[in-house]
Structures are given as structure tokens and as C-alpha cells.
Amino acid sequence: MSDAQVIGLVVAGLVLARLCTALWLAGLNRRHVRAHAKEVPEPFRGMIDEAAYAKAVWYTLAKNRFGQITDVFDTLVLLFLLYSGVLPFAYAVVTRHLGMSAWAMSAFLVSVIVCLRLVELPFDWYAVFKLEQRFGFNTSTLRTWVTDRLKETLLTIALLYPIGVVVLEFFNPWHKFGWFWVWLVLICIQVVIVVIAPVLILPLFNKFTPLPEGELRERVLALASRAGFHVRKIEVMDGSRRSRHSNAFFTGLGPFRKIVLFDTLIAQLSPPELEAVLAHEIGHFKLKHVPVRLAMSAVGLLVWLWAISVLARAGSFYRAFGFEPGHVAPALLLFGLLGGTVVFWLMPLVNWLSRSHEHAADKFAAKIVGEPELLISALLKLEEKNLSNLTPHPIFSGFYYSHPTLLERKRALEIEPG
């Protein structure tokens, strides 16, 4: 058996192992949720409405089944792309007619990304207009959905095509440090996108208006002042135009930083509860969680590019998937396709760190607001309104959840609020 055949079998094994693990975890969680479906869990009795809890159970089970179907479909598509020969065929057609310039290769890579997105559209449509609609979350129209998908496609092409050209021009895997220069270029591009996104990209999809004068605005500004957190703007986003789910986030860097509140969040929480939620978000900044996560992402990207540069020089890696060595573009494509499989096995570690950050931000919020009960009340309302799963299996939540469960957060705040 050749080296190429061994690599092909190992990769196929990893892809199938990922699918089997994901299906096992989903089944484990489904059985656990069903076992606790009859009544509201004891810690939440009197706090969560029984009808809302029953609806949350069915929503969780519906998402679970849909997730299993999409996992199987995505795996079949991935295996087809890797082993059917369709990608080497398309690559040969592009190189024969357009050559192997960075412009041509970037067009090839972006075309594959766009085609994959088109394949996913039926599932996206079902999730919005069937699953979310059934449980009362969807407020989007078909026209809005189609417009959003067109904007996303055009934005993908407008951003990724020139970025691809730059990366391919810099990325010479046969140069000792070519991967390092590409890393520096990508880091700079990411910083630019973070700065321009709030101004040029986000308004393409949502309307942002200044938070009106009143109790909430005064509370938010007073909170930011107490925390020593400079904020340039406080804006409200029309999230209700598409969904009844709610959220709040910070965007921008340095003096361009601003707070964004979903209008649905403002409708669901009282001003004191919203203050507690925002105190939690401010906690992430004050406790340096954001730079830690950015640094981790940068290190991960660096390792990823180094690995591409190594395998781009290995002819057996190319031949395992039907390509001939000679250009870095196929290596970039293959790594992009296999990225989800690799990241999947790292999720428990990454999410463990994320959950520890969430606990720390909760404690920060409880301390600066002075009333842990406000944050607990806000979290309870958000879990109820969003039909969140109150009884995930511990292994499932430990693997997938970037946030602690509601019960874990509630107990931590009650035992050690500050």
C-alpha cells in the first residue's frame, strides 16, 4: 500500500470517527433530555413555567434530530469531494483555461466555497422556515432570507477573492518561512476587518439606532464608568426583523468600540437585568479574556499554516486526493475542507477554557452590579425565552458548550457571587 493510500484511509477514518462521535453524543443528549422531560428540574421549579419547559424540551429534541441529519449530509458531501475526483477535475479545468496564477487559483478556491454554501441552502431554509417557525422564533420573510443569502454570497466573493490572491502570492511552501509571512498578512487583514465590520459590513444586514435617552441608557453609561470601560456608542439592532432570539455584543476596537443590544433583548429584560448582562460582557474585556482568545486564535492559525506548508511539500498528500504536486492551492483547499474534522477533536479543550472565562465574567458582573440575583434572573429569563436546554448531558455540554449550563452558573453565583 502506497503512502498516498495510507493517508487517504487515515483521513477517511478520522472523518467517519468524527461523525460517529457526533451522532453518539447527540443520542446521549437526546436520551438524557427525554429522561428529564416530565417535569421542570427541581432547582428551577417555581422559576420556569411548565409549559415553557415542555416546549424547550421539544425544541431541543427537534434541533437534535435536525443536527444529526445535517451531520450525516455534511460528512457525505465531504467524502464525495475528497474521493470522487470532482475537485481534481475542476482544478484541471481551471488551470487549463486560466493558468496557475494567484488570481486564477483564488477564483478556484472561492468558487468551491460558494458552491458548498449553495449546497447548504436547503438546510438553512428548513432551519429558518420550518424548525424556527414551528417554535415561534422566526420573523423573517422569504424575501429577507433570499436577500441575506445574496448579500452573504457577494460579500464572501468581495472579501475572500482578494484575500486569497494576497495569500497565494505570499505563500511559497518551498520557502523556509513563507507560512510565517502569510500569517502576518492574515493577522493584519483580520484587524482591518474587525475595525471596518461595524461601519461597513453589519449595516448591510441590520439597522442600528442609538439607544434612546432613559433609565437603560443612564444605567449602561454609569456601569461603563464604574467599570472603567470606555464605550463610544450604545446602539440597538433590529434583531426582531429576523428572529425572536435575543443577544447583546460588543464590536469594534479601541476608540471605535460600541455596545449593541438586540431590540428583543430590551423587550425581554428589565433595565437592571440588562445592566447585569452587560456587566458580564464588560467583564470579559476587563479580565483580558478577549486578548487571550485572540492570541489563541492567532497561534492556531500559525500552526495551521505551518502544517499546510509541510504537507504542501509532500507529494503523497496531494496524490491521496487525486491532485498532482506543484501548487499550494490544493493544499489550502484540502486543509479548509478538513478543518472542521480537526477542530472537532479540540472543542472540549477550547470550550473548557471558554466556560472558565464565562464563570469569571459572571463573578465580575455580580461584584460590580452588587446583586448576583439580577444576573441569575436575567439568565433564567433568557433561557426560558430562547427555549434553551436546561438538562443537557454532562458529557455533551462538556464537549460542545462554550458557556456553562444555567444550573452551573446559578450555583456558582449563589455560592461565590463575588
Distance CA 323, CA 310 (A): 16
Tell which residue, 67, 205, 56, has the closest CA to residue 127. 67
Assess contact for 9 and 376: CB atoms under 8 A: no
Ramachandran class of 228: left when φ > 0, alpha when ψ lies in -120 to 50, beta otherwise: left
Q: Grid coordinates representing 314?
A: 509532500
Q: Grid coordinates representing 330?
A: 490544493
208: phi then psi, degrees, rounded to nearest 5: -115, 130
Distance CA 3, CA 221 (A): 62
335: phi then psi, degrees, rounded to nearest 5: -65, -35
| Active-site annotation holds for 263 | no
Q: Grid coordinates representing 119?
A: 449546497
Distance CA 290, CA 296 (A): 10
Burial (CB count within 10 angstroms: exposed 0-12, middle 13-18, buried 19+), residue 288? exposed
| Active-site annotation holds for 281 | yes
Ramachandran class of 85: left when φ > 0, alpha when ψ lies in -120 to 50, beta otherwise: left
With cell 449530509, the residue in question is: 73
Radius of gyration for the chain, computed over Cα atoms and rounded to the nearest angstrom? 24
Catalytic residue among 74, 132, 362, 384: 362
Catalytic residue among 71, 152, 281, 371: 281
Assess contact for 195 and 251: CB atoms under 8 A: no
Burial 61-74 (b: 16+ CB within 10 A, else e): bbbbeebbeeeeeb
Contacts of 27 (CB under 8 A, 6+ apart): none
Q: How far is CA 373 from CA 145, 178, 377, 411, in A?
A: 38, 53, 6, 11
Query: How many alpha carbons fall within 13 Å on the CB side of residue 66?
Result: 16
Catalytic residues: 281, 362
